[in-house]
Chain A
Amino acid sequence: DVKVTQSSRYLVKRTGEKVFLECVQDMDHENMFWYRQDPGLGLRLIYFSYDVKMKEKGDIPEGYSVSREKKERFSLILESASTNQTSMYLCASSLGLADEGTYEQYFGPGTRLTVT
């Protein structure tokens, strides 16, 4: 089974702190994604990466950055946390583009981040 793990289930940080959210997948997937989930807003894409050291902005990248130094690990960084970044953060991975049936995303359990 594909497993996507996230470093923390719950995190409480103060305004202005630098926050690191870590995600690791064990299936050698090329693509990795960070979403935030807010009630009534669904899943919104923050950043994604299709290869090591490659990154692309999603729909809501402001206030975030990412790092992918190894294929299996994708980190989300909040440079200076703000209260409006309080949310559920979901990491996902998927295989590459090559074949049919490779679009499925595998999600981690999420990190509930509270910024006070």
Chain B
Amino acid sequence: GENVEQHPSTLSVQEGDSAVIKCTYSDSASNYFPWYKQELGKGPQLIIDIRSNVGEKKDQRIAVTLNKTAKHFSLHITETQPEDSAVYFCAAAGGSYIPTFGRGTSLIVHP
């Protein structure tokens, strides 16, 4: 089955800096890569996703890049703010709709 590795497990940045979280996947059939943000006391919420037919997608301060050849994808957050502090999960899904999640990255943005 699919295996998703996510790094780093913890990321600490100063407000205004950029943050990058990286994931790799093992199944070349995977074609959908969502990112979820989980705030304290809440369930994860989708923040951005990318399909295998594009290499990059942006939404305001967040962007995701995908390298299918290398089987890795990354989340980029620019101009970080304290409210970006949360746990972020990457995931990969193939022909089924069932995502395999990474282990999560705890992002801490210091004011």
Residues of B within 8 A of A103 (CB): 32, 34, 49, 93, 97, 99
Contact A102 B104, beta carbon cutoff 8 Å: no
Known: A40-B103, A103-B49. A4 touches B43 (CB 8 A): yes
Known: A40-B9, A42-B102, A42-B104. A102 touches B97 (CB 8 A): yes
> Which parts of B14-54 form the interface with A (CB within 8 Å)?
32, 34, 36, 41-46, 49, 51
Contact B101 A42, beta carbon cutoff 8 Å: yes
Pick out which of these stretches binds chain B: A13-21, A73-81, A90-98.
Answer: A90-98
B98 within 8 A of A: yes
Q: Kindly identify which residue among A4, A31, A40 contacts B97, using a CB–CB cutoff of 8 Å.
A: A31
Residues of B within 8 A of A104 (CB): 34, 46, 49
Q: How far is the CB of A44 from chain B (nearest CB, A)?
A: 8
For chain A, which range describes its interface: under 10, 10 to 19, 20 to 34, or 35 or more residues? Answer: 20 to 34
Q: How far is the CB of B81 from chain A (nearest CB, A)?
A: 23
Digitize A79-111: 1 where CB-to-B-CB distance is under 8 Å, 0 elsewhere. 000000000001010100100101111011110
Binding site for A on B (CB under 8 A): 1, 6, 9, 32, 34, 36, 41-46, 49, 51, 89, 93, 97-99, 101-104
Binding site for B on A (CB under 8 A): 4, 31, 33, 40-45, 48, 58-59, 90, 92, 94, 97, 100, 102-105, 107-110
